[in-house]
């Protein structure tokens, strides 16, 4: 309990006790008086009641003024002294205390300010050393950043939970396109990439889980090639070939993974153009070849024809030969740029494919699988995710058709191909049934690919058919796949090992962070990710028709403001902007003309805030503005909310001013870009980070404790 509360509680108790004592003495005195004296006292009291009442009022007023004087001179300064002293040693060493109070308190303030001068000097000296060490670390970090920026591939590093720890600009461009306004066609809607965000927001989770399962198998088998490969769609319809590799600590424990992106869109386009070239050559040369064949057959059939007739046939052959040459020249010149080899598939060891297919069939379909060792080191060119999903789909349909729950795998090499046989006891699958399966989209449980079984088989230049063994009641499905002659060059051969001590220039603190979905209320404030935001509006009356003009936001991850991960969008309010509002925020009508409306902006902002705590100054106003647009935009902001105004009132109740300027001045924060949405959001973010250690000094360390402390303040009772 604060000293001021204790003082007034003690004063009230003392006053009540004094009244009780006086009343008790008066009652005892009254009981001892004879009746005649009592009558005299009553008569005198009635005669001089005005004087007695006035004396009592003056006595109580004097007592009240005296207590208030003592309170303001000795008690109230102590609470403020504690708050401002905490400011000096916690967040703002340059802050100095200016208080009015008793002579002893003023002397104590002078002593604290002298100590603060010495503390600031030592702190500045220490900060200089820290800055020097940080500059050295930043130099190494800049080298790393420069190297990553110049890489021709996109690189993205994640922890075990799929949270993004590090990425380069090329990865961001591949996955979400160029950063721009909501009107930009380069931005993939709903896709954000940033530190602390989940990679599953930009890449299908099933693809990554499949790759990690394959890596885990290779690590368990101590395979030298521990990378996994898959193909996914990126921004702007890019086709990306992704190489996944594990991150291991010094104990060889899995702590994360690296994704390396290669844009193979042009290769795929080259393949399509090559197919077009072949079709063009086929159509153009078919008639000429037929004429040549007919002429040659006539010469063979009539070897003794006269010279004139023979010369005509020779002229036909010569002319059609020239025509074929012309067609080839025209086609090759037209498609010259596309005559490049392309192969969007990646190489996979046959044993790994056998094991992965068996594991997935057992886990997803509850089948009993018996496998036979390949017998030699075979490599296949496959899209591992697509082909294993297709095989799982085939086994699901096979179990439904035959009722068999026990299957056997066998993989043998026949020349340039590998035969993958799936065997069961029973009758073979009819060709019509198999063709029906091929025309269906590959779906297993809740996972569905966009391709049919036939398209996946054609993509791999494979064949599938059903057959029965001779002299046996067993049947099998055979998938014929082309063999890759050797393991692919350029693969990652060695494990990626992190050093024992974490490099200072990496933001790898999230490696030890909890998962994405624990109970937020019990999480420490320092562990959470935040979106700090602000709005600029046409006025201060949300229900009176005022509209949002601008939304600005910045993310805080790992107690750091991520300046590169901002949301800054002007909004067309579709109404006039009052002059008094323009004088505050400077947003003119022509600035918002042509900008997206609120119903288009809020869904994008909602996705930007996913899995974070919302933070704002006077958040009730901003949240009310967002709430009124829920039906129009179709999104609801259900994130937990913290308010820096309420948090400031919770840690500094003795201060009267809790507006943004007042808090920033006390915490030593320079205000830049005031009354712009993004500028205010950045200031609010700095204020919040300085309030966190002050909250911890008062034992407020979790999200739930912060909300509870905010709810107890006076400002929490204001409604919008």
Evaluate whether residue 205 is within a structural domain.
Answer: yes
**Residue 475 and residue 420 share a domain:** yes
Q: How confident is the model at residue 282 (pLDDT cuts 50, 70, 90)?
A: low
Mode of pairing for the β-strands spanning 496-497 and 239-248: parallel
**Residue 617 and residue 701 share a domain:** yes
Task: Identify the CATH number of the domain in which residue 583 sits.
Answer: 3.30.420.10
Of 484, 512, 529, the one marking the end of a domain is: 484
pTM: 0.57
**Residue 689 and residue 541 share a domain:** yes
**Residue 275 and residue 174 share a domain:** no
Evaluate whether residue 363 is within a structural domain.
Answer: yes
Evaluate whether residue 43 is within a structural domain.
Answer: no
Q: Is the pLDDT of residue 372 over 70?
A: yes
What is the distance between the alpha carbons of residues 567 and 252, in angstroms, rounded to a whole number?
Answer: 39
Q: Is the pLDDT of residue 155 over 80?
A: yes
**Residue 195 and residue 157 share a domain:** yes
Q: How confident is the model at residue 508 (pLDDT cuts 50, 70, 90)?
A: very low
What is the distance between the alpha carbons of residues 423 and 420, in angstroms, rounded to a whole number?
Answer: 10
How many Å is the maximal CA-CA distance in the chain? 173
602 vs 225, more confident: 602
* Pick from 575, 614, 572, 580: nearest CA to 597: 572
Tell me, yes or no, if 467 is annotated catalytic: no
Q: How confident is the model at residue 497 (pLDDT cuts 50, 70, 90)?
A: very low
Q: How confident is the model at residue 548 (pLDDT cuts 50, 70, 90)?
A: very high
Evaluate whether residue 56 is within a structural domain.
Answer: no
Q: Is the pLDDT of residue 651 over 90?
A: no
Q: Is the pLDDT of residue 570 over 50?
A: yes
500 vs 451, more confident: 451
DSSP string, 408-477: EEEEEEETTEEEEEEEEESPPPPHHHHHHHHTSEEEETTEEEEEEHHHHHHHTT-EEEEEE-TTSSEEEE
Residue with token string 């594991």: 359
pLDDT in tens, 667-697: 888 776 566 888 899 999 999 999 999 899 8
**Residue 436 and residue 421 share a domain:** yes
Half-sphere exposure in the Cβ direction for 545 (13 Å, CA): 5
Of 211-225, 381-395, 542-556, 684-698, least confident by mean pLDDT is 211-225
Of 102-106, 213-217, 454-458, least confident by mean pLDDT is 102-106
What pLDDT sits at residue 499?
Answer: 41
Of 427, 458, 484, the one marking the end of a domain is: 484
Q: How confident is the model at residue 38 (pLDDT cuts 50, 70, 90)?
A: confident
Tally the residues of the chain. 720
Name, in order, each residue with C-beta under 8 angstroms of 275's C-beta and a sequence gap of 6 or more: none
Residue with token string 């990496």: 506
Evaluate whether residue 11 is within a structural domain.
Answer: no
What pLDDT sits at residue 186?
Answer: 40
Evaluate whether residue 58 is within a structural domain.
Answer: no
Q: Is the pLDDT of residue 55 over 80?
A: no
Of 308, 338, 368, the one marking the end of a domain is: 338
**Residue 700 and residue 562 share a domain:** yes
What pLDDT sits at residue 618?
Answer: 87
Q: How confident is the model at residue 632 (pLDDT cuts 50, 70, 90)?
A: very high
Evaluate whether residue 5 is within a structural domain.
Answer: no
Please write down the HEC assignment for all residues of 324-353: HHHHHHHHHHHCHHHCCCCCCCEEEEHHHH
Beta bridge partners of 557: 560
What pLDDT sits at residue 382?
Answer: 83
What is the token pair recorded at 492? Answer: 């990652």
What is the distance between the alpha carbons of residues 481 and 390, in angstroms, rounded to a whole number?
Answer: 13
Please state, in angstroms and as integers, the Cα–Cα distance from residue 679 to each residue in 286, 492, 555, 592, 624, following that order. Answer: 69, 45, 13, 18, 21
The number of angstroms, rounded, from the C-alpha of 496 to the middle of its chain's C-alpha atoms is 24
* Beta strands, E only, 234-338: 239-248, 254-263
The burial class, CB within 10 Å (0-12 / 13-18 / 19+), for 541 is exposed
**Residue 711 and residue 625 share a domain:** yes
Average pLDDT, the chain: 78
**Residue 273 and residue 260 share a domain:** no
**Residue 604 and residue 468 share a domain:** no
Name, in order, each residue with C-beta under 8 angstroms of 72's C-beta and a sequence gap of 6 or more: 101
**What domain range includes position 424?**
346-484
**Residue 251 and residue 364 share a domain:** no
Q: Is the pLDDT of residue 128 over 50?
A: yes
What pLDDT sits at residue 271?
Answer: 54
What is the distance between the alpha carbons of residues 121 and 127, in angstroms, rounded to a whole number?
Answer: 10
**Residue 369 and residue 468 share a domain:** yes
Pick the catalytic residue: 206, 262, 335, 675?
A: 675
Evaluate whether residue 122 is within a structural domain.
Answer: no
pLDDT in tens, 73-113: 766 677 777 777 777 767 777 777 777 777 777 788 788 88
Mode of pairing for the β-strands spanning 228-233 and 239-248: antiparallel
Mean pLDDT along residues 189-203: 77
What pLDDT sits at residue 444?
Answer: 80
Number of domains in the chain: 4
Name, in order, each residue with C-beta under 8 angstroms of 430's C-beta and a sequence gap of 6 or more: 466
Task: Identify the CATH number of the domain in which residue 355 sits.
Answer: 3.30.565.10
């Amino acid at each position: 309990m604060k000293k001021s509360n204790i003082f007034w509680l003690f004063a009230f108790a003392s006053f009540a006790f004094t009244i009780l004592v006086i009343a008790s003495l008066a009652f005892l005195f009254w009981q001892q008086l004879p009746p005649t004296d009592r009558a005299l006292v009553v008569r005198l009291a009635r005669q001089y009641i005005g004087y007695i009442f006035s004396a009592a009022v003056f006595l109580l007023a004097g007592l009240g003024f005296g207590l208030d004087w003592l309170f303001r001179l000795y008690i109230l300064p102590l609470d403020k002294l504690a708050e401002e002293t905490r400011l000096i040693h916690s967040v703002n060493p340059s802050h100095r205390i200016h208080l009015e109070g008793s002579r002893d308190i003023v002397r104590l303030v002078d002593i604290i300010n002298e100590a603060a001068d010495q503390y600031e000097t030592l702190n500045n000296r220490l900060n200089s050393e820290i800055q020097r060490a940080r500059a050295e670390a930043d130099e190494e970090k800049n080298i790393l950043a420069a190297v990553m920026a110049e890489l021709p591939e996109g690189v993205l590093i994640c922890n075990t939970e799929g949270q993004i720890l590090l990425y380069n600009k090329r990865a961001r461009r591949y996955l979400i396109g160029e950063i721009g306004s909501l009107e930009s066609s380069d931005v993939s809607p709903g896709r954000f990439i940033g530190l602390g965000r989940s990679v599953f927001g930009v890449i299908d989770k099933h693809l990554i889980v499949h790759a990690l399962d394959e890596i885990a198998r290779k690590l368990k088998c101590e395979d030298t090639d521990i990378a996994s490969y898959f193909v996914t769609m990126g921004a702007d319809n890019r086709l990306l070939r992704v190489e996944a590799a594990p991150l291991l600590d010094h104990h060889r424990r899995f702590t994360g993974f690296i994704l390396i992106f290669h844009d193979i869109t042009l290769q795929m386009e080259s393949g399509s153009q090559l197919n077009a070239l072949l079709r063009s050559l086929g159509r153009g040369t078919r008639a000429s070849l037929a004429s040549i064949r007919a002429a040659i057959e006539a010469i063979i059939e009539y070897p003794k024809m006269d010279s004139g007739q023979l010369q005509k046939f020779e002229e036909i052959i010569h002319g059609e030969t020239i025509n074929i040459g012309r067609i080839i020249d025209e086609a090759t010149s037209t498609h010259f740029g596309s005559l490049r080899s392309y192969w969007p598939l990646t190489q996979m060891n046959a044993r790994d494919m056998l094991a992965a297919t068996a594991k997935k069939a057992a886990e997803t379909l509850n089948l009993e699988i018996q496998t036979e060792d390949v017998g030699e080191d075979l490599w296949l060119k496959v899209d591992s995710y697509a082909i294993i999903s297709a095989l799982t789909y085939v086994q699901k349909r096979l179990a439904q058709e035959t009722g068999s729950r026990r299957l056997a795998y066998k993989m043998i090499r026949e020349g340039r191909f590998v035969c993958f046989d799936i065997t069961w006891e029973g009758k073979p699958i009819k060709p019509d049934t198999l063709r029906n399966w091929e025309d269906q989209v590959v779906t297993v449980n809740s996972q569905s690919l966009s391709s049919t079984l036939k398209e996946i088989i054609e993509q791999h230049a494979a064949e599938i058919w059903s057959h029965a063994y001779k002299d046996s009641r067993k049947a099998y499905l055979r998938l014929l796949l082309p063999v890759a002659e050797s393991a692919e060059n350029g693969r990652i051969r060695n494990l990626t090992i992190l050093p024992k001590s974490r490099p200072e220039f990496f933001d790898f603190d999230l490696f030890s962070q909890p998962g994405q979905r624990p109970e937020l209320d019990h999480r420490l404030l320092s562990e959470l990710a935040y979106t700090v935001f602000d709005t600029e509006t046409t006025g201060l009356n949300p229900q009176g028709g005022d509209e949002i003009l601008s939304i600005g936001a910045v993310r805080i991850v790992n107690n750091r403001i991520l300046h590169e991960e901002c949301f800054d969008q002007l909004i067309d309010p579709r109404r006039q902007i009052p002059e008094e509002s323009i004088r505050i925020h400077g947003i003119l009508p022509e600035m918002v003309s042509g900008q997206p409306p609120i119903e288009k902006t809020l869904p994008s902002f909602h996705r930007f805030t996913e899995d974070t705590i919302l933070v704002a100054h006077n958040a009730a106003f901003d949240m009310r503005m967002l709430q009124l647009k829920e039906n129009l935009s179709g999104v609801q902001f259900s994130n937990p909310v913290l308010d820096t105004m309420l948090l400031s009132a919770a840690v500094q109740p003795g201060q009267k001013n809790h507006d943004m300027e007042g808090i920033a001045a006390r915490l030593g924060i320079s205000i830049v870009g005031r009354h712009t949405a993004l500028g205010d959001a950045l200031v609010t973010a700095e204020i919040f980070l300085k309030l966190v250690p002050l909250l911890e000094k008062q034992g407020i360390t979790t999200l739930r404790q912060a909300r509870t402390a905010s709810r107890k303040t006076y400002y929490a009772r204001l409604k919008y």
